[in-house]
Amino acid sequence: MDLIDELDLKVIDCDTHVVEHYDLWTSRVPSKYGDRVPHVERDANGIEWWIAGGKVLSPAAGLAIAGWKEPPPKFPAQLDMVDPRIWQPEGRLEIMDEYGIHAEVLYPNVAGFGAGRYTDFGDMELALLLLQAYNDWLADFRRVSDRYVPVMAVPFWDIDLSIAEMKRCAELGHKGLVFSQAPEDFGSPMLTDPHWDRLWAAAQEMGLSINFHIGSGDTTMPQLLHPSAGVHANYATFPMTFFLGNARTVGSLIGAGVCHRFPDLKFVSVESGVGWVPFTLQALDWMWTECGVAKEHPEYDLLPSEYFRRQIYACFWFEHGPTLRAAIDYVGADNILYETDFPHPTSMSPGPVSSALPPRQFINDKLGDLPHDVLRKILQDNAMKLYDLA
């Protein structure tokens, strides 16, 4: 039995990552900026790195891990060592067909999952050009196929520029925007600050979702690592901080009244999983009641769990069985989205050292006990509605 075919599902993968090609910025940004423009250099050990202004940004093929022969944090030294279909828009469609995926929502790598690293360049004129070049390049995917769903980066350091870029990219086919869960890490006000209200209002008016990918704040925090644990154990455990960081983001948005003031604005917790959702919402409801929030904010007309159900989504990829069912039972199927995190480490991408089932098989073997109407919502309908794909 193949559930995708049986139910005629168009599975939407709500978290995948592009692999930025080596000429993305050098072919689009004026040459006068020289080596300050991100480009790729190969070191003496044969490893290729993204470099800008003499500073190393990241390994060029470091997150193109799908099917790789070694477990993370080991990575391919060069992009030509991986399946080229991972980074080629045309070839990537072949992998999607193999996986049973109809469409992919596309997230970045090099400039950070919330566009925060654009602020590292100092020259904000250059930062804007780099960001716009990325958004243009991402829009090219949609020109190849409407099965690609781009979500834009925005120059969050300037609200007027951000709104202008939102309008420009919406016309190019972008369906939402990536945003840092901790803009204060990059010199901007916290998410809870009214500073952002004009941006939220513009996104609401344009029907653009706000997508918070885990790790979209400052990810250089040494306290996440424990040298005595070992390289692989560290890599396996520090993401827990990122997963639960999105729970904090959800609580902050609700507590600061953002959801109340912008009732039609949709937020997405990306790559966070969903198992934390029932506990977080039950805890928020309890604390909300016990801490006198209704008296302090009589304008808040809903409980945190009700705000969540109205306008917040969360994505899962490896979860199944009781963990997934608990989230669906508590919050409802309308707020759950499916993802694979392709082609990242620990994504649902089978390979020599990965125990991941191919997505089509995972859906059959691990999700087959869910009611068909629930499957249709979490695999297709919710994302279709959220990203206006119908």
| Ramachandran sector of residue 195 (left: φ over 0; alpha: ψ -120 to 50; beta: rest) | alpha
Query: Pick from 115, 50, 118: which is nearest to 79 by CA?
Result: 50
Q: What's the CA gap between 130 and 336, in Å, rounded?
A: 33
Domain boundaries defined on the chain = 3-386
281 phi/psi in degrees, rounded to 5: -70, -40
From first to last of its 390 residues, the chain has per-residue pLDDT tens of 799 999 999 999 999 999 999 999 999 999 999 999 999 999 999 999 999 999 999 999 999 999 899 998 899 999 999 999 999 999 999 999 999 999 999 999 999 999 999 999 889 999 999 999 999 999 999 999 999 999 999 999 999 999 999 999 999 999 999 999 999 999 999 999 999 999 999 999 999 999 999 988 866 555 566 777 888 888 788 778 888 889 999 999 999 999 999 999 999 999 999 999 999 999 999 999 999 999 999 999 999 999 999 999 999 999 999 999 999 999 999 999 999 999 999 999 988 989 999 999 999 999 999 999 999 999 999 999 999 997
Q: How far is CA 260 from CA 42, 122, 273, 298, 355, in A?
A: 50, 35, 24, 11, 42
Give the β-pairing of 209-213 and 267-270: parallel
Tokens, residue 241: 């901080």
Tokens of 104: 């992919």
∠ Cα 75 81 83 (to 5°): 100
315 and 271 in contact (C-beta within 8 Å)?
yes
Which pTM does this prediction carry? 0.96
Annotation: CATH topology of 3-386: TIM Barrel (3.20.20)
C-alpha 179/C-alpha 177 separation (Å) is 6
The β-bridge relationship of strands 39-42 and 48-52 is: antiparallel
Taking the C-alpha atoms of residue 387 and residue 165, their distance in angstroms, rounded to an integer, is 18
CA quadruple 61, 64, 67, 72: dihedral positive or negative?
positive
